[in-house]
Each structure stands twice: as structure tokens, then as C-alpha cells.
């Protein structure tokens, strides 16, 4: 990994500028109001999320919440499109 990068002056080819699609830092810091619920999930589901959360250095509850939020967003998009 200590190899130096050799830069050349070659043409880049056709370049396409894309619009900025990333959220602003303020949007990333926004903390949506949460509601605590009690939910019984299968043991295999919890084990899966705990394993994946450990691999990705995050909390398994956060992963489940984001999965549900993504489902809601996709479902809402489909409802609006109909």
C-alpha cells in the first residue's frame, strides 16, 4: 500500500456533471421524532440484525428502524405513482 500514485495527463473522455443529490449536513443532523413501541420479532430476525449491526459498527435497532423507514418511503412512492 506504499506504492505512489503515478498521475498522467490523459484525457478524461466524455464528462457528465450531475446535480448535487446529497442531503445537507443540517438534514443529516435532523432527528425525527421517535415513538417507542413493543414489538415481538423472531429470534432469527434479531440474531440477523445483531450480527449485521456488529459487522457495520451500528445498533441493530437503528438498522430495523431504517429498514422500516425505507419500506414506508418505497410504499408511499408506489401509492403516489398510481
d(CA 28, CA 22): 10
d(CA 82, CA 79): 5
Helix/strand/coil (H/E/C) assignment for every residue in 27-69: HHHCCCCCCCCCCCCCHHHHHHHHHHHHHCCCCHHHHHHHHHH
Greater confidence (81 vs 47) lies with 47
pLDDT tens per residue, range 33-77: 889 999 999 999 999 999 999 999 889 998 998 899 889 888 887
Instruction: Give the pLDDT band of residue 1 (cuts 50, 70, 90).
Output: low
Is the four-CA dihedral 60, 62, 63, 67 of positive or negative sign?
positive
Amino acid at each position: 500500500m506504499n506504492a505512489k500514485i503515478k498521475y498522467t495527463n490523459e484525457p478524461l473522455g466524455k464528462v457528465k456533471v450531475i446535480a448535487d443529490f446529497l442531503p445537507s449536513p443540517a438534514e443529516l443532523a435532523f432527528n425525527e421524532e421517535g415513538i417507542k413501541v413493543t414489538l415481538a420479532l423472531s429470534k432469527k430476525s434479531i440474531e440477523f440484525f445483531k450480527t449485521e449491526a456488529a459487522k457495520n459498527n451500528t445498533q441493530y435497532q437503528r438498522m430495523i428502524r431504517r429498514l422500516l423507514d425505507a419500506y414506508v418511503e418505497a410504499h408511499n412512492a408506489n401509492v403516489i405513482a398510481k
